[in-house]
Amino acid sequence: MSWLNKYSIIFFDVLDSTDLEAKRMIKRGVRGNHVIVSAVQTRGKGRNGNFWHSPDGNLYFSIVFDHKNNLSNLSQLSLVTSLSCHEAMQYFLNDKELSLFPKLFKIKWPNDLLLNDKKFCGILLQTLPCMDVHEDKIINYLIIGVGMNLTNSPKNINYLTTSLKEEGIEHKYNDVFNKIMERFNENYKLWQAEGFSDIRSRWIQNTYNVGKKVFFDMKGKKNSGLFKDIDEDGQMVIELESGVLHKVTSCDVQVV
């Protein structure tokens, strides 16, 4: 089944944020599965409330649906989404013409995508509980925001960024969007039916920093250790200098 049979698409020329629009829709009582797309965002946000540069030409969308699974599985779903974006990009990279160029797509835990070691895509997961007056129960809606630099990227920030166009890869906006949604729909169905094992295996094969020493920030405190693995809950497993294995659910990670 095509993903278009499952989701309705809502397009905007300009929005403050596709995530904010998703929240407004849920609070108004709009139900069902939707994908909200905007050509421009004026208040796009990344993790930790950071501003997401959102000019025309790039891809910004939010997937919103009733999340009937355990909320403790959200770490896994973050990886489902980043893997889906990676596989969509790899699909285009496998074109015969592009295979002549040395390109490297990698996933940076938990939800960034890198191209030649530079960030070009970010993902943000949020949940919003809402009372369903018809069924008299709380529904947990999941909002998955995706921002991908197709044609341009910001340069006045403290990490390297790029876009597909800047790296010599140009594809039609709709083709990239459709392929990401296609892979997400398939991977989400697989995750629901068979669990996290296959997703986890494919994710690890394409990660940027596994096996490397990383610095990570938790609650304002700097720590370091060796990124060993992703556990069955989607958490990062870090071996500290003491040899103790420490699990991280969400933090900022930098490779040494």
Question: Does this chain's domain 3-205 share its CATH topology with 213-255?
Answer: no
CA separation for the pair 148, 138 (Å, rounded)? 32
Topology of the domain covering 213-255: SH3 type barrels. (2.30.30)
| pLDDT reported for residue 210 | 85
* Full DSSP string of 132-190: ETTTTEEEEEEEEEEEE-SS----SSSS-B--TGGGT----HHHHHHHHHHHHHHHHHH
* Stated pTM of the model: 0.89
* Domain parsing of the chain, residue ranges: 3-205, 213-255
Mean pLDDT for back-to-back runs of 10 residues, the chain (256 residues): 90 95 91 94 73 85 85 84 94 67 80 92 89 74 94 86 90 93 96 94 90 79 88 90 84 51
| pLDDT reported for residue 56 | 92
CATH classification code of 3-205? 3.30.930.10
| pLDDT reported for residue 256 | 42
| pLDDT reported for residue 193 | 94
